[in-house]
C-alpha cells in the first residue's frame, strides 16, 4: 500500500508558522501588515469557492485579505485601471486575478498587468522567465509547483538524480513544475497532448506529476513499481451519493495506482491545501521583502566628471546626465501613485505619502545658515547641495529642502540660484525658471484677491444695502441662499441663520457691506519680474470705475503673503484656513477685513491646490532635493515649506524597529541670510508652527567675508577686489571671526550643536583656515572644518558631513525657543533685537506703536514676530560690519500677516519688488542653435 502524501496538516502547520512569523515582526514593528487583494470578475460559483478558501486561509495566517468582486460586464480598461492602482499602492503586497475571466477580457493581458513585485501567483512572464533562466531567481514561484516541492521535502522524498515526468505544460503548473524539478537536479521529461507513447514514458519515471485536468487520465498500469505519484488534477465526476451529485477526483486512478506506487497524493486533501498555503507564504514573503526594501532607501550616486579649472555652472550641469525622476523616487521610497511627473526630471510629491509614513519617526533635521552676508557670497545653497551629496557618499540617506528661486533675481542680478560648481540642484534650467508653476499659482491667487478687494469697494459704492445683499445671495431661478464660504462671515458676525430671507435688515446690511477703508488696504498685486515702475501705481483711471481711484502697487510674487502661507501651511486644510484669514484691510470701524469676508478664500485654495505639493529634483550626484516655496527672508521666514520638510523627514526617518539615531537619514534645509534673520525665523516661526526640532546647525563662513567683517575695505559690484582679500592676513581674519562667534552664540541659544563649514577658496591660506577653526571652537562650535564642495562635489564636503553626523549622533540637543508667544508684541521684538542682534533695545515710531495697539486690539498679540531688517549687518545699519554695539533698532512700521501667522515689524525700508540694474542678467540669457539655454548660473 502506497504512503499517502497528505497536505492538510502540512498546510495548517505552514499557516501557523507564517502567523507566528507575522506576529513576531509586529511586536517590534506594529505597522507591519501583509495585504492581499483578490480580484474576481463575475460570480461563478467555482471561482467564489476558491476565493472563500483563500480568504479563510489568509485570515488564519494574519494576512489582511480583501476580495474585490467586479461585475461581469466590467470593461478591460476599468479592470486594468483598478489593477494599476493596486500595483502602485505600496501597502499592497500581493494581487491575485481569480481565473477564469469572462470571454470579453484578454486573460493574458489582464494577468500580465499585475506587477512582478506583487505577482504572488508566480506565473507572470517576469517571474516565470526568471525561473527558467539559469542563475536567476524569481520573486515568486507558482504556488502549486512550490507546494508539490514542499510535500516532497516534508516526506523526505529525494529528487536529485531521479527521472521525473510532468504531464501538462501550463504556465501555472506544468512548466514551472518542470523547471523546479530540474533545479532540484532531477532529469525531467515533459509530456503534453501532442506527446506520443505517454504510458511508455511514464513507465520509466521515478516521480510522476500529472496536471492535465482529465479524470483518471493516468492509469495504474502506467507506473513502474515504487514510483511516486503526484496528482495535481481537480476534476468533478457524477456521484449520486453526494448531495451535489458530484465528487472531486484527480488525474490519476487513485484506487488502483496506490497498489503500485510507493507514495501518492490524494485528491482532495494534498496539493490543493498546499497550493493555498504557498500562496500565503508568497504574500508574507512579499510583505517582508517590502519591509526590508523600505530600509534600503538609498539613492545610487551619479559620478562627477571633475575638471580643473572648474568650468561654468551651466557647463557643469550640461555635462551631467540626470536620473529619471521616477527612478530617484523609487530609490528613496516614494511610490508611483505618490508622484506626479512634470517631464522626465522633476515631479510633484503627493501629500498622501505623509499618511502612509505617519508611523515613522523623523530623520535628523539640520538647518544651514551663515555669517552676516557680504557681496562675496558665502555659499549656503552650494553647501546644502554639497552636504547632501557628501552624506550620501557616507551611506546616509540625505534630502535637501530648498526654496524655489524667483525669476525676478534670476533675470535681474543673480542669474540663478541653483548652487554652483559641482554642488548644484539640477536640472538648473528648470530649477531657476518655471519649475512646476508654483510661483505662477501664487501670482494668480494674489491678484485674484486684489481684484476682489477693489471690485467689492466698487459695488458697495454703487449699490444700496438691499440690492447688494440680493445680488450676493441670489442663485439660479431667483432662489436665495448663501454660498458655503459666506457662512464663515456669518459666523464672524455672530449670525446663526442659514436662510437669507430670515435675516433682519440690519443683519443684511452688516453681512453685505464690508465698508473697507481704502487707506488701510495692505494688499498689493504681484508679478515675478523685477520692475521698479510698479512699486506705486494709481488704479481706477477708466471712466467705468465711476471715479473710484486709489494708489496701490505691485510686489514680487515671492513677497506675497500667499507665498508665506504656502511655506507655513501644514496640510491642505490648514492652507485653506490660513488663506481665508489673511487680512487685507480694515473697515471704517477699525475691524480687520479678511479674504473670507470677501468670499474668495475657497477660490484661492483651488488655485494653490497643486502648489502645495513639493517638487522632487536632484543634485548633480543624483541625491534627492525637495524644492518648495520661496518666501522672502526679510518680510517672511526665508525658508522652504513645512510640508517639504515633513515629507523629507518621514522619507529619511526610521521604522519602529530601527535605531532612530544610527539608522536615521538627514534632512538638510537652508535658512535665508544669517542666524539673526533667517535662522531666527526658521526656529521661532517655522519650527514653532511645524513642531519639528532641529538637531544641529551648520554655519557657512569664508575667509574673504570674515576679512570684510574684520575691517577690510568695502567691496561692490563692478569694482576690483582689493589685494587684502587675496593675500594672507590672519589678524584681519581673527577680527572678523567676532561676527562668526556671534552667529555661533545665536545658534547655541536654541540649545543646538553647531558645525562651522569653512567654504574654501584658492586664495585661502592654511594659517587663515586654522585661525577660523580655533576661533569657532573657542566660541562654542562642535567642530569647524574646510569644505571644498564647489570644486569637488560631495567628496569635498565629507569632513563637514562627518562632523555633522557626529554632532547629531553624539551631541544632545536641548532645543528651546527664544521667546514666549504670550509676551506683549513689543517685548518679543525687544528680545529678538537684544539676543540676536546684540542691540541695547528698540525704538518704536508713532506709526509702529499705533499698529502695535491696533493688532493687539484685533486679537493678534500672541503671534510670533518676523522682523524685516537689512541682512548686511547685525544692526539695522547695513554699513556696520562685524559685531556692532551700542545701538538701538528703530521700528519704523509694523504689518500683519494674519494668514501666515506672524507680525512683521519693519526695521528698514525693505523693497518688495526690486528694480533692474543697468545691465540685468537677462543680457546673458539666450538659446544656442541647438536650443540649449545660455547664461544661467
Active-site residue among 37, 40, 89, 98? 98
Q: Nearest-CA neighbor of 789 among 395, 475, 392?
A: 392
> Following DSSP, what letter does each residue of 754-798 receive, concatenated?
EEEEEE--TT--HHHHHHHHHHHHHTT-SEEEEE-HHHHGGGGGH
Q: How far is the C-alpha of 312 from the C-alpha of 86, rounded, in Å?
A: 46
Is 551 a known active-site residue? no
C-alpha cell at 831: 528680545
**In degrees rounded to 5, what are phi and psi of residue 382?**
-65, -40
> Grid coordinates representing 816?
528651546
The answer to whether 121 is a known catalytic residue is yes
Whether residue 98 lies in the annotated active site: yes
408, containing H or E segment: helix 407-411
The cell numbers describing 390, all together, are 557628501
Q: Tell me whether residue 14 is exposed, middle or buried, using C-beta atoms within 10 angstroms of its C-beta: 0 to 12, 13 to 18, 19 or more.
A: buried
Question: What is the C-alpha to C-alpha distance for residues 902 and 107, in angstroms, rounded to an integer?
Answer: 60
* 3-class SS string, 49-109: HHHHHHHHHHHHHCCEEEEEEECCCCCHHHHHHHHHHHHHCCCCCEEEECCCCCCCCCHHH
Q: Are 577 and 602 in contact (CB under 8 A)?
A: no
**Residue where the block lists cell 547655541:** 748
Measured CA to CA, the distance from residue 82 to residue 586 in angstroms comes to: 52
| CB-CB contact of 676 with 740 (8 Å) | no
Helix (H), strand (E), coil (C) string for 84-98: HHHHHCCCCCEEEEC
Residues with Cβ within 8 Å of residue 502, at least 6 apart in sequence = none
Cβ atoms 858, 802 nearer than 8 A: no
Measured between alpha carbons, how far is 220 from 260 in angstroms, rounded to an integer? 7
Return d(Cα 120, Cα 172) in angstroms, integer. 12
Catalytic-role residue among 37, 40, 54, 645: 54
Other Cβ atoms less than 10 A from the Cβ of 27: the count is 10
Number of CB atoms found within 10 A of residue 196's CB: 7
Q: How many residues does the chain have?
A: 937
Other beta carbons less than 10 A from residue 302's beta carbon: 18
| Cα radius of gyration (the chain) | 35
Please pick, among 40, 89, 119, 121, the residue that the annotation labels catalytic. 121
Nearest to 408 by CA among 528, 524, 557: 528
Query: 289 has which bridge partners?
Result: none
For residue 197, count CB atoms less than 10 angstroms from its CB and return exposed for 0-12, middle for 13-18, buried for 19 or more: exposed
Q: Cite the active site residues.
A: 54, 98, 121
Amino acid at each position: 500500500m502506497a504512503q499517502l502524501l497528505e497536505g492538510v496538516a502540512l498546510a495548517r502547520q505552514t499557516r501557523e508558522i507564517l502567523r507566528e512569523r507575522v506576529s513576531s515582526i509586529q511586536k517590534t514593528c506594529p505597522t507591519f501588515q501583509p495585504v492581499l487583494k483578490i480580484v474576481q470578475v463575475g460570480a461563478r460559483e467555482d471561482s467564489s469557492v476558491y476565493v472563500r478558501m483563500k480568504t479563510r486561509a489568509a485570515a488564519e495566517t494574519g494576512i489582511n485579505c480583501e476580495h474585490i468582486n467586479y461585475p461581469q460586464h466590467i470593461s478591460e480598461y476599468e479592470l486594468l485601471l483598478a489593477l494599476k492602482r493596486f500595483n502602485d499602492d505600496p501597502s499592497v503586497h500581493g494581487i491575485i486575478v481569480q481565473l477564469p475571466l469572462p470571454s470579453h477580457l484578454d486573460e493574458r493581458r489582464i494577468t500580465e498587468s499585475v506587477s512582478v513585485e506583487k505577482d504572488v501567483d508566480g506565473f507572470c512572464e517576469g517571474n516565470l522567465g526568471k525561473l527558467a533562466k539559469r542563475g536567476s531567481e524569481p520573486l515568486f514561484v507558482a504556488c502549486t509547483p512550490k507546494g508539490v516541492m514542499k510535500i516532497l521535502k516534508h516526506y523526505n522524498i529525494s529528487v536529485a538524480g531521479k527521472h521525473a515526468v510532468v504531464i501538462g505544460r501550463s504556465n501555472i503548473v506544468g512548466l514551472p513544475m518542470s523547471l523546479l524539478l530540474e533545479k532540484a537536479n532531477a532529469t525531467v521529461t515533459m509530456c503534453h497532448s501532442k506527446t506520443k507513447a505517454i504510458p511508455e514514458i511514464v513507465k520509466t519515471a521515478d516521480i510522476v506529476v500529472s496536471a492535465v485536468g482529465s479524470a483518471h487520465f493516468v492509469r495504474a498500469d502506467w507506473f513502474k513499481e515504487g514510483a511516486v505519484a503526484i496528482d495535481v488534477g481537480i476534476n468533478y465526476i457524477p456521484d449520486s451519493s453526494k448531495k451535489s451529485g458530484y465528487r472531486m477526483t484527480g488525474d490519476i486512478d487513485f484506487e488502483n495506482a496506490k497498489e503500485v506506487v510507493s507514495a501518492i497524493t490524494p485528491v482532495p486533501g494534498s496539493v490543493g491545501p498546499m497550493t493555498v498555503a504557498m500562496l500565503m507564504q508568497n504574500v508574507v514573503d512579499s510583505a517582508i521583502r517590502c519591509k526590508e526594501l523600505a530600509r534600503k532607501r538609498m539613492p545610487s550616486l551619479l559620478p562627477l566628471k571633475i575638471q580643473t579649472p572648474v568650468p561654468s555652472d551651466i557647463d557643469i550641469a550640461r555635462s551631467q546626465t540626470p536620473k529619471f525622476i521616477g527612478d530617484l523616487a523609487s530609490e528613496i521610497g516614494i511610490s508611483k501613485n505618490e508622484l506626479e511627473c512634470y517631464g522626465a526630471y522633476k515631479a510633484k510629491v503627493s501629500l498622501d505619502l505623509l499618511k502612509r509614513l505617519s508611523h515613522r519617526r523623523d530623520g535628523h533635521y539640520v538647518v544651514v545658515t551663515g555669517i552676516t552676508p557680504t557681496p562675496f557670497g558665502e555659499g549656503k545653497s552650494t553647501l546644502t547641495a554639497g552636504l547632501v551629496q557628501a552624506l550620501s557618499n557616507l551611506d546616509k540617506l540625505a534630502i535637501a529642502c530648498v526654496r524655489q528661486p524667483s525669476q525676478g533675481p534670476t533675470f535681474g542680478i543673480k542669474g540663478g540660484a541653483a548652487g554652483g560648481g559641482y554642488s548644484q540642484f539640477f536640472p538648473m534650467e528648470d530649477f531657476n525658471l518655471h519649475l512646476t508653476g508654483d510661483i505662477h499659482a501664487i501670482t494668480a491667487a494674489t491678484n485674484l484677491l486684489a481684484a476682489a478687494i477693489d471690485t467689492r469697494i466698487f459695488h458697495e459704492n454703487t449699490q444700496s444695502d438691499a440690492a447688494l445683499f440680493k445680488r450676493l445671495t441670489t442663485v439660479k431661478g431667483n432662489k436665495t441662499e448663501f454660498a458655503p464660504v459666506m457662512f464663515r462671515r456669518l459666523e464672524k458676525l455672530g449670525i446663526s441663520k442659514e436662510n437669507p430671507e430670515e435675516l433682519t435688515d440690519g443683519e443684511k446690511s452688516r453681512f453685505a457691506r464690508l465698508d473697507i477703508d481704502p487707506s488701510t488696504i495692505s494688499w498689493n498685486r504681484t508679478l515675478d519680474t523685477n520692475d521698479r515702475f510698479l512699486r506705486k501705481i494709481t488704479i481706477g483711471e477708466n471712466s467705468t470705475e465711476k471715479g473710484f481711484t486709489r494708489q496701490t502697487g505691485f510686489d514680487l510674487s515671492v513677497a506675497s503673503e500667499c507665498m508665506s502661507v504656502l511655506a507655513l501651511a501644514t496640510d491642505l486644510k490648514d492652507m485653506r484656513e490660513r488663506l481665508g484669514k489673511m487680512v487685507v484691510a480694515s473697515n471704517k470701524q477699525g475691524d480687520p477685513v479678511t479674504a473670507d469676508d470677501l468670499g474668495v478664500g475657497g477660490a484661492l485654495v483651488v488655485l494653490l491646490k497643486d502648489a502645495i505639493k513639493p517638487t522632487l529634483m536632484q543634485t548633480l550626484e543624483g541625491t534627492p532635493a525637495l524644492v518648495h516655496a520661496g518666501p522672502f527672508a526679510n518680510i517672511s521666514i526665508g525658508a522652504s515649506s513645512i510640508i517639504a520638510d515633513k515629507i523629507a523627514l518621514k522619507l529619511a526617518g526610521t521604522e519602529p524597529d530601527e535605531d532612530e539615531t544610527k539608522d536615521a537619514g538627514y534632512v538638510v534645509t537652508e535658512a535665508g541670510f544669517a542666524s539673526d534673520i533667517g535662522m531666527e525665523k526658521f526656529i521661532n516661526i517655522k519650527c514653532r508652527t511645524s513642531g519639528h526640532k532641529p538637531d544641529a546647525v551648520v554655519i557657512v563662513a569664508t575667509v574673504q567675508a570674515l576679512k570684510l567683517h574684520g575691517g577690510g575695505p568695502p567691496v561692490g559690484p563692478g569694482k576690483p577686489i582689493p589685494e587684502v582679500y587675496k593675500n594672507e592676513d590672519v589678524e584681519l581674519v581673527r577680527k572678523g571671526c567676532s561676527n562668526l562667534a556671534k552667529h555661533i552664540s545665536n545658534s547655541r541659544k536654541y540649545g543646538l550643536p553647531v558645525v562651522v563649514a569653512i567654504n574654501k577658496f584658492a586664495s585661502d591660506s592654511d594659517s587663515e583656515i586654522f585661525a577660523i577653526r580655533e576661533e569657532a571652537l573657542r566660541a562654542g562650535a562642535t567642530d569647524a572644518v574646510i569644505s571644498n564642495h564647489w570644486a569637488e562635489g560631495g567628496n569635498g564636503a565629507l569632513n563637514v558631513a562627518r562632523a555633522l553626523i557626529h554632532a547629531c549622533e553624539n551631541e544632545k540637543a536641548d532645543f528651546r525657543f527664544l521667546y514666549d508667544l504670550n509676551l506683549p508684541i513689543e517685548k518679543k521684538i525687544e528680545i529678538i533685537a537684544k539676543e540676536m542682534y546684540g542691540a541695547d533695545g528698540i525704538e518704536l515710531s508713532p506709526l509702529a506703536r499705533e499698529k502695535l495697539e491696533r493688532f493687539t486690539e484685533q486679537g493678534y498679540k500672541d503671534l510670533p514676530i518676523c522682523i524685516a531688517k537689512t541682512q548686511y549687518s547685525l544692526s539695522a545699519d547695513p554699513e556696520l560690519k562685524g559685531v556692532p554695539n551700542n545701538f538701538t533698532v528703530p521700528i519704523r512700521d509694523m504689518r500683519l500677516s494674519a494668514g501666515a501667522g506672524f507680525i512683521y515689524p519693519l526695521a528698514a525700508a525693505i523693497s518688495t519688488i526690486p528694480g533692474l540694474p543697468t545691465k540685468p542678467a537677462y543680457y546673458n540669457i539666450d538659446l544656442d542653435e541647438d536650443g540649449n539655454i545660455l547664461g544661467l548660473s
